[in-house]
A and B are shown apart, each in its own frame.
Chain A
Amino acid sequence: MLNSETAYDVLVVGGGNAGLCAAITAREAGARVLLVEHAPQSMRGGNSRHTRNLRAMHATPTAVLTEAYAEQEYWDDLQRVTGGQTDEGLARTAIQASAQVAPWMEARGVRFQPSLKGTLNLSRTNAFFLGGGKALVNAYYRTAERLGVQVLYDTQVTALTLRNGAVHEAVMISQGFPAVVRARAVVASAGGFQANIGWLKQYWGEAAENFRIRGTPYAQGGVLKSLLEQGVASVGDPTQCHAVAIDARAPKFDGGIVTRLDCVPFSIVVDRDGQRFYDEGEDAWPKRYAIWGRLVAQRPGQIAYSIIDAKSERLFMPSVFPAIRAGSIGELATRLGLDAAVLEQTVRRFNAAVRPGHFDSQQLDGCATEGLHPSKSHWARAIDTPPFLAYPLCPGITFTYLGVKVNARAQVVLEDGRPVANLFASGEIMAGNILGKGYLAGFGMTIGTVFGRIAGTEAAAHARG
C-alpha cells in the first residue's frame, strides 16, 4: 500500500520495459524509487510483455546476434521506415547505445537465446529474449525489488500536475483509493493511448469500435493527455497508429503475436461486399503487413476475408484460430456471410487473370495477374483446389505515434521550448521523437531500454543533486 509519508526521490510512472530500466538505473544511482504500474501484477509490463526482441547494433557476431549490423545500416533502416520523420540526435543516441545494452540487461537478469533459424529471420539485427518479453519483464521486476525499488500495482496515474515549470505532484488511484505522491523527479513511461477507444474515435470515428488492440488494455494515455493539456510539446501525428491486419476472431485486447496472419500474400482478400480492394502480392509480407491494418480499417465494417485454397495451406506460419473451410467457393461465402454469387464471380475473374509463371513462396516470384484491377503482382495462383479456406481480417492496433517531446537528456520539453526541470520520459510515450512513423522490429524495446536508462540516470541526478 502507498504510504504518503514516504519521501521519494524518483517516481516512475509505468512498469513496462522503459519504466523498469529507469527505476533500476535510478535506484542503482542511490535514489529512493517508487514505481507505479496501472496493471495488476499478473498483467504487468505494458506492451513489453508481448515483445520478443531488441534491435542492437554490433560490429562482429555475438553469442546472440549473427554477422554485423553497423550504425549506418541501422540509421538507413530507420530513415527508410520513417521517411525522415526522426530526430537524428536522439535516434543516433538510441542506435549507438544499443551496442552496449545486452550486457547491462544480462546483468539484471534478462536472458537471450542463441540466434535462431527464426520466423522472421531477424537474427542478424535483433537479439531475442529467452522466453520473450514477459520473461524480460519478470526478470526486471525481480531485480528492481531486490534493489529496493518500491512497486505498486493496480495504480493508475491520472495527472502529473505541473507548477512553475516542474512536476508538483502525481495524482493517482491506487488500488481503488485516490492518492497523491510527490517526488523530486518523475519519469513518465506510461505508454501511448492505443487502448483508449474513445480517444481513437476522435480520429477514426465509429470504425475504432471494430479495432482490436494487440497489446495491453492499460495503455489509456492518461499521463500523455495530462501533460499535453498542460503545455508540453507533442511529437508524432495524433491521428496515426501502427495498424496491422490480424485475425478478426482475436480478443479485444492482449491478443499479441498469435493473432497475426501470414497468409495474405498467397490469398485474395475480399471485403464484406465480396470485392478485392488491394494488391495482395505487392511485396513480401513483413514489408506489407503494417499497411493492411489501415486498408481493412477503411473497408465497410472494418472486416475483410483472406481466401486461399488447399495448395497454399502450408505456406505460412500456423495461426491460432483454425481456417474457415468449405468444399466450394459458394459454400465458403455462405459460411462467411458473403454473397455467394459475388464471391464466385470475384474468384472466377481473378483465376482468369492469373498468368502462368513459376510460383515461389520464398521470394518475389513475378506470378502476376493481367488485366485485373486491382492487380496481384506476386504469388498469383488460381484459387481452384478444394478445400477452400478463409481467415477473417480486422485492424489490430500495436501502438500510437503521438508522444511528448524530449531533449537529449530525456527531459520533457514544453511548447515554448523550455524543459520541465524534473520530468523525464522514456518508452512509447516519447518514441515518436525517433519513430515518427512506420515500424522497425525490436526498435521500440531499444528506445525503451536506452532512454529508460538515460531518464533513470537524469532523474536520480536531479533528485539527489
Chain B
Amino acid sequence: MHEAETRATARRAMEICNACRYCEGYCAVFPAMELRRTFTDGDLDYLANLCHDCRGCYYSCQYAPPHEFGVNLPRTFAELRQVTWVEHAWPRAGARLFARNGLVVALAAALGVALVLLLTMALQPADVLFGVHRAPGAFYVVIPMAAMVAVAGVTFGFALLAMLATVVRFWRATGSGGLPRGRPLLRALGDVLTLRNLGGGGQGCNDVDEGFSQTRRWLHHCLFYGFGLCFASTTVAAGYEHLLGLRAPYPFWSWPVVLGTLGGLGMVIGTIGLFALKLAGDAAPRAPRLLGADVALLALLGMTAATGLVLLALRATGAMGVLLAVHLGFVLALFLAMPYSRFMHGAFRAAALLRNAMEHEPTDAR
C-alpha cells in the first residue's frame, strides 16, 4: 500500500522530469532517466538509489511545491530508497527492523554496550576490570581474544553476508545487464570514491538551502574514509597479531594506531558535521519520517569512533577495561545494525552506480 503509493509518486515525478529535462546537468539520475520512456518498478528503484540526495533538482524545479505538480524528487526518492531496503532485506524477517529504525538502532546500541559491559563485569573480577594493564596483550586480559574474535567474526560475517544477499536481490530486481566488466566497474568505483554525483555539475549540492556548497560531500568523505581507515587499522592489527606475533596495545606511532586515530577523527568530524547539516538544513526536500534512522546511524558511527579514541587516550589507566567494553559494545551494535539500517544506502548506491556505468557503456564494448 505505502510501497505502491511511493512508487506511484516517483513514477509521476519521473514522467514530469522526463518531459522537462532541465536538470540533466546535475547528476547521473537524469541521463539515466532519459534512456527510458516508461518506468518499471525496477527502474524507479534503481533511479531512487542512484540519487545522492544533493537536492539541486528540488531548488531548480519549476514544478516543486506549491506548484500543483508538487515535484519533490529528493523526498520521493529518499522514501523509495527506504522501501527498496525493506523489500530486499535478507533474511526477510530483517525487513521489519526498518520500521522505526531510529529506535531499533538506538536499542541495538544500548543493548550492545550493556551486554558487553555486563558480561565483562560478570566474568572478570574487579581488580582485573579496573586494573592498569600495559603489557602486550593488555586488552585480552579484560576480554579474551578468542571471545573478541568469535563475536566480531560471527556478527561481522553475518552482516557482510546479509548485506551481500540483500544487494544481490536488489540487483536482480532492477534489471539484467549481465556481469559487470572492467571499465564500468572502474567508473562505478570512481563514482563511489569521489561522490561525483554530490558535485551538482561542479558547484556542489544544496546542503542547507538554495545555495551550493561542497560541505556535505567533504563531510561524507571524512566519514567514509574515516570508516575505511578504521577498518584498515583493524586489518593491520590482525596481521600484526597473527602473522608477526606482535600483541596489542601498539605504540602510538604504529600503523594500527595511526590509521585508527586518523580514521576515528574523520568519523567523529564527519558524523558531527553531517548531523549539524541535518539540523540546519531546509526540511522541505527531506523525508521527515526517515530523520530518526539517519540520526541514529550517525550517532552510532560517531559513538563507535569516539569511544575508540577515548579508549586510545586512556588505555594506560584503570579506565581501560570499562572503556574497552563500551567501545566493543558499540562495535557489536554497529555490526548487528549494519544490514538493517541507513548503512545499506552505501551498498545500494554502489549497485546503482554500477548499473549506471554499465548502461552508459557503448554497446560495442559489451
Q: Does chain A bind chain B?
A: yes
Which of B21, B26, B211 lies at the interface centre, i.e. has the most chain A CB atoms within 10 A of its CB?
B21
B210 contacts chain A at the CB level, 8 A cutoff: yes
Q: Which residues of A contact B66 (CB under 8 A)?
A: 42-43
- CA A43 to CA B203, docked complex, whole Å: 23
Q: Which residues of A contact B125 (CB under 8 A)?
A: none
The smallest beta-carbon distance between B59 and chain A, in angstroms, is 6
- CA A52 to CA B66, docked complex, whole Å: 20
Taking a contact as CB atoms under 8 Å apart, the answer to whether A257 and B19 are in contact is yes
Taking a contact as CB atoms under 8 Å apart, the answer to whether A258 and B63 are in contact is yes
Which residues of A from 126 to 175 have beta carbons under 8 Å from B?
A: 128, 130-135, 138, 142
B22 contacts chain A at the CB level, 8 A cutoff: yes
The range of chain B's interface size is 20 to 34
- CA A322 to CA B67, docked complex, whole Å: 20
- CA A251 to CA B64, docked complex, whole Å: 14
- CA A32 to CA B152, docked complex, whole Å: 66
A142 CB contact (under 8 Å) in B68, B69, B210: B210
- CA A256 to CA B61, docked complex, whole Å: 11
B60 contacts chain A at the CB level, 8 A cutoff: yes
CB contact under 8 A between A130 and B201, given known A142-B211, A256-B62: yes
B307 contacts chain A at the CB level, 8 A cutoff: no
Encode B114-131 as 1/0 by CB contact (under 8 A) with A.
000000000000000000
- CA A6 to CA B302, docked complex, whole Å: 51
| Nearest opposing residue in chain A for B61, CB measure | A134
Q: Pick the interface stretch among A79-87, A296-304, A311-319, A324-332.
A: A311-319
Taking a contact as CB atoms under 8 Å apart, the answer to whether A318 and B18 are in contact is yes
Which residues of B from 1 to 45 have beta carbons under 8 Å from A?
A: 15-16, 18-26, 37
| Nearest opposing residue in chain B for A252, CB measure | B68
Encode B183-212 as 1/0 by CB contact (under 8 A) with A.
000000000000000000111000000110
B256 contacts chain A at the CB level, 8 A cutoff: no
B56 contacts chain A at the CB level, 8 A cutoff: yes
- CA A259 to CA B63, docked complex, whole Å: 12
CB contact under 8 A between A320 and B16, given known A114-B25, A116-B24, A119-B21: yes
CB contact under 8 A between A131 and B19, given known A254-B67, A256-B62: no
A50 contacts chain B at the CB level, 8 A cutoff: yes
Q: Which residues of A contact B22 (CB under 8 A)?
A: 52, 131-133, 257
Q: Which residues of B contact A322 (CB under 8 A)?
A: 15
CB contact under 8 A between A132 and B62, given known A317-B19, A320-B16: yes
Known: A131-B22, A131-B26, A318-B19. 10 other contacts (CB 8 A): A43-B66, A111-B203, A113-B201, A131-B25, A138-B59, A142-B211, A256-B20, A257-B19, A258-B19, A322-B15
In order of increasing CB-CB distance, the 8 nearest A-B pairs are A132-B22, A131-B60, A113-B25, A135-B60, A258-B19, A320-B19, A130-B25, A138-B210
Q: List 7 A-B contacts (CB under 8 A).
A: A134-B59, A135-B60, A254-B62, A256-B62, A257-B20, A257-B22, A318-B18
